[in-house]
């Protein structure tokens, strides 16, 4: 049974105070908090078996290698990949996207087209612009509407035999919109284009099934789902990962090196040059265990309840506007108080112990669409409560009074 008070006891940070007030942590879309179960795994690694992996004959190295590779199997099972070697450890979503964008440099030519969406994080815009500069390919954008939804009829029109790649996030970090990725993937495949889904914001809420989605690439970050920062994963279909050249050269990713020629290691090591974030990978596996133990159905039901409650309460404040009103959305609320800069609201909320993000959320094109400098973004996790939402609502009212 889902019990938020029991769950909260797993997160030591939730009992601290900020500016003399109990912490109300509502910046989960930026990074999630870490349960004791994952902290214990990190402490255990550094206390008992810290060693480099895939290299040593000694016991510590073998223990670390076993745990690291077990984490890869956990991620494989979690996303339902066909093979464990389709899971590449990365430092996060940004790294995964850059790895794929770099790989396509040698596969694209002038006149090829890449489609992204108007709802992307800068991580899913800039690497593709750089790829276009290198190859002469063209970047096309699926537009959005006032509700913060992608306009699928326009997407259909953008697709052609020139489309080689489509890159879309599963969930918008700035608005919380859940995009229709099943449709996007199916349509892209009909014209022979490959699809990368940015799962940075969906991984804390939805368990992906990469085989059912038939997606070519899926990337995410551990720190959004109760894991450590500096750790993420790229799923790629075996056929694509074999086709793409390595991203970085170095130790681990080679089969044989001479000064005349180097041959590369098999998957997944071909894409894992250098000593990885070993503890991060192991802790990522522990975070996945933790979240699966709570259960993604229970998580998404509860978070939906929080979203509905917070939306209703916040909308009772006069002159408060919510950006992103899609029917399909996760527990993210981006809002502004008319005539008040979001930064000022965020500063007062912080004084009251409430952590939210303010600004453009690394999604400047969305802010440009709404003609605003930024928003206040409250993002809820399964360990937040309705009582915390009440604290937020009272604090926003107070900020409005002070700043009007």
State yes or no: residue 331 binds ligand C6P (CB under 6 A): no
**Residue 286 is inside which H or E element, if any?**
helix 278-294
- Kindly tell me the sign of the dihedral angle through the C-alpha atoms of 144, 146, 147, 151: negative
Sequence-distant (6+) residues with CB within 8 A of 59 are none
Residue ranges in 229-277 assigned as alpha helix (H): 238-243
Taking the complex as a whole, how short is the minimal distance between the CB of residue 349 and ligand C6P, in angstroms?
16
Q: How far is the CB of 29 from ligand C6P (least distance, A)?
A: 5
Tokens of 145: 């509407």
Contacts of 6 (CB under 8 A, 6+ apart): none
The stretch near ligand C6P (CB under 6 A) out of 73-81, 90-98, 110-118, 319-327 is 90-98
Rounded to whole angstroms, the Cα distance separating 372 from 336 reads 9
Smallest gap from residue 176 Cβ to ligand C6P (A): 11
Alpha helices in 275-385 (DSSP H): 278-294, 296-315, 342-351, 364-370
Query: What span, in angstroms and rounded, lies between the C-alpha atoms of 198 and 332?
Result: 17
Q: Please give the residue whose beta carbon sits closest to ligand C6P in the complex.
A: 173
Rounded to whole angstroms, the Cα distance separating 24 from 350 reads 9
Nearer to ligand C6P (CB atom), residue 314 or residue 356: 356
d(CA 80, CA 100): 20
Residue 81 DSSP code: -
Is-contact 386 54, C-beta < 8 A?
no
Per-residue contact flags (x/-) with ligand C6P for residues 190 to 229, judged by CB under 6 A: --------x-xx-------------------x--------
Identified catalytic residue from 203, 226, 279, 362: 362
Contact between 336 and ligand C6P by CB under 6 A: the answer reads no
Residues near 227 by beta carbon (within 8 Å), at least 6 away in sequence: 34, 38, 280, 283, 284, 286, 287, 288
* One residue of 26, 29, 116, 307 binding ligand C6P per CB under 6 A: 29
362 is catalytic: yes
State which of residues 54, 78, 121, 269 lies at the interface with ligand C6P (CB under 6 A): 121
94 contacts ligand C6P (rule: CB under 6 A)? yes
What is the crossing angle of helices 278-294 and 36-44, to 10°?
Answer: 150
The secondary structure of residue 54, as a DSSP letter, is: S
Sole window of 89-97, 151-159, 305-313, 334-342 interacting with ligand C6P (rule: CB under 6 A): 89-97
Query: Considering beta carbons, is residue 81 or 225 the nearer one to ligand C6P?
Result: 225
> Is residue 93 involved in binding ligand C6P (CB under 6 A)?
yes
Q: Is the Cβ of residue 74 or residue 357 nearer to ligand C6P in the bound state? A: 357
Q: Which stretch binds ligand C6P (CB under 6 A): 47-55, 98-106, 116-124, 291-299?
A: 116-124
- For residue 103, give both structure tokens: 């790989």
Quick check: 254 binds ligand C6P (CB under 6 A)?
no
Whole-number minimum distance, CB 192 to ligand C6P, in Å? 26
Find the part of the chain contacting ligand C6P (CB under 6 A) among 13-21, 118-126, 143-151, 189-197.
118-126
Shortest reach from residue 22's CB to ligand C6P, in Å = 23
Give contact residues for ligand C6P (rule: CB under 6 A): 29-30, 92-94, 121, 123-124, 169, 173, 198, 200-201, 221, 357, 361-362
Active site residues: 362
């Amino acid at each position: 049974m889902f019990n938020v008070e029991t769950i909260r006891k797993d997160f030591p940070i939730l009992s601290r105070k900020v500016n003399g007030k109990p912490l109300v942590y509502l910046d989960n879309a930026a990074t999630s908090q870490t349960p004791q179960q994952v902290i214990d795994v990190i402490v255990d690694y550094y206390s008992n078996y810290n060693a480099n992996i895939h290299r040593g004959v000694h016991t510590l190295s073998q223990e670390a290698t076993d745990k690291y590779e077990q984490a890869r199997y956990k991620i494989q099972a979690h996303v339902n990949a066909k093979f464990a070697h389709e899971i590449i450890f990365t430092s996060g979503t940004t790294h995964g996207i850059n790895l794929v964008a770099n790989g396509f440099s040698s596969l694209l030519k002038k006149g090829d087209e890449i489609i992204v969406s108007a709802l992307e994080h800068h991580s899913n815009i800039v690497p593709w612009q750089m790829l276009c500069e290198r190859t002469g390919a063209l970047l096309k954008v699926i537009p959005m509407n006032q509700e913060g939804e992608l306009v699928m009829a326009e997407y259909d029109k953008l697709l052609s035999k020139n489309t080689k790649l489509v890159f879309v996030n599963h969930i918008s970090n700035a608005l919380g919109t859940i995009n229709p990725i099943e449709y996007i993937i199916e349509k892209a495949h009909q014209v022979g284009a490959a699809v990368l889904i940015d799962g940075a914001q969906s991984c804390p809420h939805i368990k992906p099934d990469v085989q059912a989605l038939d997606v070519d690439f899926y990337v995410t970050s551990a720190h959004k789902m109760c894991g450590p920062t500096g750790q993420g994963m790229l799923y790629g279909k075996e056929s694509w990962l074999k086709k793409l050249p390595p991203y970085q050269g170095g130790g681990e990713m080679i089969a044989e090196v001479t000064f005349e020629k180097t041959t590369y290691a098999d998957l997944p090591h071909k894409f894992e040059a250098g000593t990885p974030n070993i503890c991060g990978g192991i802790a990522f596996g522990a975070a996945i265990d933790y979240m699966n133990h709570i259960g993604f159905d229970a998580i998404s039901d509860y978070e939906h309840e929080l979203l509905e409650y917070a939306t209703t309460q916040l909308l009772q404040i006069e002159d408060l506007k919510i950006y992103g009103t899609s029917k399909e959305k996760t527990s993210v609320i981006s809002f502004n108080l008319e005539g008040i800069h979001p930064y000022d609201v965020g500063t007062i909320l912080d004084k009251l112990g409430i952590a939210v993000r303010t600004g453009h959320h690394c999604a400047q094109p969305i802010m440009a669409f709404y003609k605003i400098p930024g928003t206040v973004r409250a993002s809820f996790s399964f360990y937040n409560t309705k009582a915390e939402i009440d604290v937020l609502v009272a604090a926003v009212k107070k900020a409005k009074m002070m700043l009007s």
